[in-house]
């Protein structure tokens, strides 16, 4: 398969590219920067869709960039870096003479309302109660193409755990120094997935005829995992204590109240449809995932 991967230079995109290539697929990345085996978003807007059998979009500014203040201009960048590339790719697919067989967008479980008690599947309502849920609604709407020619899949991802980026990279040093611990009470849900499984679900969606619609990109045990469980598992994998809680007010001070929802609250999400499509998770439980990542 020839696969176009928007945002393929990033944390998830690098693992996805490796996985696709290891399965014999050709990957062309869509990026802001030109380079080998890449096209730019401008190329795509100007020249239309190059010949391809599958398309994926993973682009987006890192919301939890601790060096960026959560103000109106950063908020707009977070939205535009997701919605605009998605619109460009969807338009190119819709207008292509030879459209791809599958089009996969990765969004987030921020679609569902944070709650310590509610459990969500792909059929649960959401998408209209805070900045993140409304962002996911706009982002997924931007991906819509007329039905019929191309199978469309949206993977709503949880917190992605992997070696070279994401949450583990941001938290590794405090934990290594024995200064790690839960965030606030630690009772908030922690909807996580190993990066290998997120790349695996995207690949499964590209390859398997008949997979369509929303798939939750979280591990099967994420529905019972809390932030405290994650802290304990990190401590145990690194053989360090993980007892020092990071107070909620400190998180709010660093990230701002609106953005800190992502750390202070969470969603209990099940990958119901993902499992029904017969995707087999490589890392269904947290200790094995963190052992693989931190070994």
Residue 182, classed as helix, strand or coil, is coil
The verdict on 13 binding ligand NAP (CB under 6 A) reads yes
One residue of 99, 100, 108, 186 binding ligand NAP per CB under 6 A: 108
Reading phi first (left if > 0) and then psi (alpha if -120 to 50, else beta), residue 166 is in: left
Q: Smallest distance from the beta carbon of 198 to ligand NAP, in angstroms?
A: 8
One residue of 82, 151, 204, 268 binding ligand NAP per CB under 6 A: 82
Distances (CA, A) of 168 to 70, 81, 264, 290: 22, 23, 17, 9
In the complex with ligand NAP, the residue whose CB is nearer, 102 or 198, is 198
**Contact track, ligand NAP, 25-64, x by CB under 6 A:** ------xxx------------------------xxxxx--
Q: Which residues of 267-288 are buried (b: 16+ CB within 10 A; e: fewer)?
A: bbbbbbbbeebebebebbbbeb
One residue of 157, 221, 225, 267 binding ligand NAP per CB under 6 A: 157
The verdict on 181 binding ligand NAP (CB under 6 A) reads no
**Which ranges in the chain belong to alpha helices (H)?**
11-22, 41-47, 72-95, 131-142, 166-176, 195-207, 227-238, 248-255, 257-264, 272-276, 286-294
In the complex with ligand NAP, the residue whose CB is nearer, 23 or 32, is 32
The verdict on 7 binding ligand NAP (CB under 6 A) reads yes
The verdict on 159 binding ligand NAP (CB under 6 A) reads yes
In the complex with ligand NAP, the residue whose CB is nearer, 221 or 267, is 267
Tell me which stretch binds ligand NAP (CB under 6 A): 19-27, 128-136, 157-165, 204-212: 157-165
- DSSP string over 81-138: HHHHHHHHHHHHHHH-SS--SEEEEEEEGGGSPP-SS-EE-TTS--SSSSHHHHHHHH
Q: Smallest distance from the beta carbon of 250 to ligand NAP, in angstroms?
A: 21
Q: Smallest distance from the beta carbon of 85 to ligand NAP, in angstroms?
A: 6
Integer Cα distance of 33 and 15 in angstroms: 19
Distances (CA, A) of 127 to 10, 38, 111, 122, 255: 25, 33, 5, 12, 22
Contact 172, 138 (CB under 8 A): no
Site for ligand NAP in 184-203 (CB under 6 A): none
In the complex with ligand NAP, the residue whose CB is nearer, 59 or 278, is 59
The verdict on 11 binding ligand NAP (CB under 6 A) reads yes
Tell me which stretch binds ligand NAP (CB under 6 A): 120-128, 164-172, 181-189, 283-291: 164-172
Query: Which residues here bind ligand NAP, judged by CB under 6 A?
Result: 7, 9-13, 31-33, 58-62, 77, 81-82, 106, 108, 157, 159-160, 165-167
């Amino acid at each position: 398969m020839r696969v176009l991967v928007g945002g393929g230079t990033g944390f998830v995109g690098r693992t996805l590219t490796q996985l696709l290539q290891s399965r014999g697929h050709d990957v062309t990345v869509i990026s802001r920067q030109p380079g080998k085996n890449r096209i730019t978003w401008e190329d795509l807007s100007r020249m239309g869709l190059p010949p391809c059998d599958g398309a994926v979009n993973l682009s987006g500014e890192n919301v939890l960039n601790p060096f960026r203040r959560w103000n109106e201009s950063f908020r707009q960048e977070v939205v535009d870096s997701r919605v605009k590339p998605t619109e460009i790719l969807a338009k190119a697919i819709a207008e292509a003479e030879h459209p791809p067989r599958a089009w996969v967008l990765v969004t987030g479980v921020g679609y569902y309302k944070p709650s310590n008690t509610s459990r969500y599947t792909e059929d649960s309502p959401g998408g209209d109660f805070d900045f993140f849920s409304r962002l996911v609604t706009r982002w997924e709407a931007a991906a819509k193409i007329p039905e019929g020619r191309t199978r469309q899949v949206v993977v709503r991802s949880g917190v992605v755990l992997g070696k070279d980026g994401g949450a583990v990279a941001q938290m590794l040093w405090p934990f290594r120094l024995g200064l790690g611990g839960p965030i606030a009470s630690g009772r908030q849900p922690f909807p996580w997935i190993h990066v290998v499984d997120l790349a695996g679900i995207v690949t499964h969606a590209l390859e398997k005829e008949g997979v369509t619609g929303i798939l939750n990109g979280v591990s099967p045990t994420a529905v019972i995992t809390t932030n405290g469980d994650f802290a304990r598992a990190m401590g145990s994998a690194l053989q360090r204590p993980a007892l020092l809680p990071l107070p909620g007010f400190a998180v709010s001070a660093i990230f701002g109240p609106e953005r800190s929802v992502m750390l202070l609250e969470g969603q209990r999400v099940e990958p119901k449809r993902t499992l029904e499509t017969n995707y087999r998770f490589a890392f269904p439980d947290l200790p094995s995932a963190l052992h693989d990542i931190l070994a």
